[in-house]
Structure 1
Amino acid sequence: MPRAWWRQLLSRFDPTPIPDPLWRRALVSCPLARRLDDERQHALRGLSAAFLARKRFHPLAGAVLDERIRLLIAMQACLPALEQGVRCLRGWRELLVYPGEFKVRRSHHDEHSGVVSEAEDVLIGEAWERGPLILSLADVQLDLEQPWDGYNVVVHEMAHKFDMLDGPPDGVPPLPDGINRRDWIVAFQRAYDHLSNDVARGRETLIDPYAAESADEFFAVVSEMHWSQPGLMQRAEPSVAALLTAYYGPSPAPT
């Protein structure tokens, strides 16, 4: 039977159901969803319908979004919400989709010199606190074609969104009652420090070195690994892997 939160979703919010032919077509293209058991597939279908009803997609710079690709984005965005439910989707509404990489101009203030400099970053995804989620369509499609390579831009950015539910991102999202906050902080900080030390020393790492950029990027990167390479995540940091399973539920990826 569906979990209690799923019944609450149906009673509080009644999105338009996803038609069977569209759902079957999307499952063929999304191995992560296709490998879920029947109960979790059913939950994902309902969450995806709620996502499509609540979020507004904005194709930019010539990106083309048909109903199938919108659903595939929604499915990947809702995979990380399977355990926590629809409440994880709150706090934002807009989803911007570029055809490929996009540029973002940023200002940097040097605290020591007081100099403010500007630079352009080239990104494939970004999540703003209380603002939009931004994606590269080319990378979304690549993740669907190569689901077990350790990367998933939609999952990465959704992890940031979950992290921001209780304020600025810090690598600690709101946790369910079954996960001790102190245990999470200790395990993630230890793993982050270990990775940062290895990266600083030029050592090869099982976790993408980008995760050493900050605690919130570490959480987003290991979230990708949980869904696409859980075996490697288990080898790299068993305590973090166990917490990710408790938070997200078991990964359907081959181990």
Structure 2
Amino acid sequence: MLSGPVFLILGLLVLVSAFIIGRKHLRNTRRQRLMKQPFPREWEEILRENVALYKHLPEDLRERLHGYINVFLDEKNFEGCGGLQLTEAMKVTIAAQACLLLLKGNATFYPRLKSIVVYPGAYIAKQTTLVGGIPVQTDSARLGESWNSGELVLAWDHVKQESVDIRDGHNVVLHEFSHQLDQEDGRADGAPILDQGTSYVAWARILGREYGELVEKVKKHHKDVIDSYGATNPAEFFAVITEAFFKKPAKLKQKHPELYEELKLYYKMDPLQWD
């Protein structure tokens, strides 16, 4: 016969489970409602003006993006820093590109992320490096950062510039939010959570080889469609190839066909098929 304390523990476990299930159900219900909510016409105009990729999306993805933006703006907190007064246009511009990465995959809406901090331009962050085994703290200029503690930082001037220019191959929003995807399992290692049907072995083989080749090219000062910053570490490599996948798909596929196919499997999208 079960004792009183055991019954109490079992009862508490049932209550906790019911709370978690109920909370998840309420969240999903709210998200479904937001997905169906009309998308403001003025927000569409913002996207057409500020986000070059938006104009190339197929109609079905564009409609889905509208719903995802509604959810994202409802769930995430935005904060202006360095004297920046955040506007609705800034939030919508950032949200659209963050949600672009989720359109065909498992839309978890960046579960670890709580706040997006936006500076007017490049900002100074403290950086600790080892010099002769001694930690030394220096100032470092940054355009963006992603933390698995719930915060992501962006420089607005680069957000705006790289959102409008579809040819430059850079996009700080795609870069930092791909870090969030990478960090969903608690680690920043260039290996995001993959679907069951996607082979981790193939991912490690292809991305590991491509990363190693980029490191060697950078050492020899050889240029590539993949930005040299991707040679910093595997996490930065994943972020940089995500930028290239969406902004230079033709060149990436031409120069790195296996890598392009692997990203196409992961994101479940093919930017080359867009107008």
Larger Rg: 2
Q: Aligned pair 1:72/2:93, yes or no?
A: yes
Tell me what 1:92 maps to. 113
Contact kept? 1:230, 1:253, Cα under 8 Å: no
Post-superposition offset of 1:246: 1.4
Q: C-alpha distance in 2, partners of 1:72/1:41?
A: 14
- TM-score normalized by structure 2? 0.84
Q: C-alpha distance in 2, partners of 1:12/1:118?
A: 44
Q: Aligned pair 1:25/2:54, yes or no?
A: no
Tell me what 2:11 maps to. none
Q: Superposition RMSD on alpha carbons, in Å?
A: 2.0
Bigger Cα displacement from structure 2, 84-93 vs 145-154: 84-93
Identity of aligned residues (%): 28
Contact kept? 1:125, 1:153, Cα under 8 Å: yes
SS in 2 for 1:87: coil
The match for 1:38 among 48, 59, 80 is 59
Structure 2, unmatched stretches of 5+, are 1-25
> Greater relative contact order (Cα 8 A, min sep 6): structure 1 or 2?
1
Tell me what 2:190 maps to. 171
Contact kept? 1:47, 1:85, Cα under 8 Å: no
Q: Aligned pair 1:216/2:225, yes or no?
A: no
- TM-score normalized by structure 1? 0.90
Q: C-alpha distance in 1, partners of 2:29/2:272?
A: 28
Structure 1, unmatched stretches of 5+, are 1-7
Post-superposition offset of 1:130: 2.3
The match for 1:60 among 81, 95, 115 is 81
- 1:102-113 counterparts in 2 under 5 A? 102-110=123-131, 113=132
Post-superposition offset of 1:117: 0.8
Post-superposition offset of 1:78: 0.5
Tell me what 1:142 maps to. 161
Tell me what 2:29 maps to. 11
- CA 252–46 in structure 1, closer or farther in 2 if over 3 Å, else same: farther
SS in 2 for 1:106: strand
Q: C-alpha distance in 2, partners of 1:151/1:254?
A: 19
- CA 193–122 in structure 1, closer or farther in 2 if over 3 Å, else same: same
- CA 86–73 in structure 1, closer or farther in 2 if over 3 Å, else same: same
Tell me what 1:83 maps to. 104
Task: Tell me which amino acid in the other structure corresponds to 2:249.
Answer: P
SS in 1 for 2:195: coil
